[in-house]
Amino acid sequence: MSAVEGLTQDAFLGGRLAIRQPERGYRAGIDPVLLAAAVPAAAGQSVLELGCGVGVASLCLGARVPGLALTGVELQPAYADLARENARANGIALDIVTADLAALPASLRGRGFDHVIANPPYHLRECGSAAPDPGRETALGEATPLALWIETAARRLAPGGWLTLIQRAERLPAVLGAMDTRLGSVELLPLTARLGRPAKLVLLRARKGGKGAFRLHSPLILHEGSRHERDGDSYVPAISDVLRRGAALSWPG
């Protein structure tokens, strides 16, 4: 993918961020916003996003926590260019490296980060049909195994650093199976659309060198009510604060 023909400009965090992204192809929704909100980052720390797309997760994190050293890796040159443009337009410093996470340049292989974040492709490509748009297919269809995402994250984390990712619940066995003894203190936060619904997404965080017990938290409910009954925003207040005001997502104690 060398160019993007049609673009839209979309508001995130209640208009704090204006993001240009493809009109067709992979379009960022709430998942990268939730990912950014779940990262326990503090000013002065370094963050590496694997597969950053047009930069939504990193820029949402940078808007919430000023003073971060943000770096994104993106395979597709056109998306990487949009991420650079979005960072400039929103006044947030974000270094974008166009590279395959399976072959990171030496400038990244020699660094350790306080945080690594990722929103890996959700779908096994041997299951289902490929998306007709190449950019969307690359973003959503797994070409690089989840195990390599986890391995790359573990290598790039500094001792004591945090991995935070969002993934479909059905892929959770692959995520957990890819973890080794370098990553501990694993916590899972299932995300469910409404009360009584099964969780379709999970947030996961793990610490390099962590020794804490595995923790499976109660599901975080995104919408009010047990079913969709009206048009408009039905997010519970805590999620609305994340999506509209850039608040942090609080992990259960």
pLDDT in tens, 97-147: 999 999 999 999 999 999 999 999 986 545 444 444 444 444 444 468 999
Q: How far is CA 154 from CA 10, 111, 224, 228, in A?
A: 33, 12, 37, 40
For residue 227, the model assigns a pLDDT of 67
For residue 137, the model assigns a pLDDT of 40
pLDDT in tens, 211-223: 999 999 999 999 9
> Is the model's pLDDT at 14 over the cut of 90?
yes
Q: How many CB atoms lie within 10 A of CB 130?
A: 13
For residue 139, the model assigns a pLDDT of 43
Over the range 22-36, which residues count as b (16 or more CB within 10 Å of their CB) and which as e?
beebbbbebbbbbbb
- CATH code: domain 29-223+232-245 is 3.40.50.150
> Is the model's pLDDT at 210 over the cut of 90?
yes
Locate 251 and state its tokens: 């992990």
| Spatial distance between the Cα atoms of 114 and 207, rounded to a whole number of angstroms | 10
Burial class of residue 251 (count of CB atoms within 10 Å of its CB; 0-12, 13-18, 19+) = middle
For residue 125, the model assigns a pLDDT of 42
For residue 65, the model assigns a pLDDT of 98
| Spatial distance between the Cα atoms of 146 and 125, rounded to a whole number of angstroms | 12
* H/E run at residue 62: helix 56-64
Q: Locate the domains of the chain by residue range.
A: 29-223+232-245
pLDDT in tens, 53-65: 999 999 999 999 9
For residue 84, the model assigns a pLDDT of 98
Average pLDDT, the chain: 90
Q: Confidence class of residue 85 from pLDDT cuts 50, 70 and 90?
A: very high
For residue 24, the model assigns a pLDDT of 86
> Is the model's pLDDT at 45 over the cut of 90?
yes
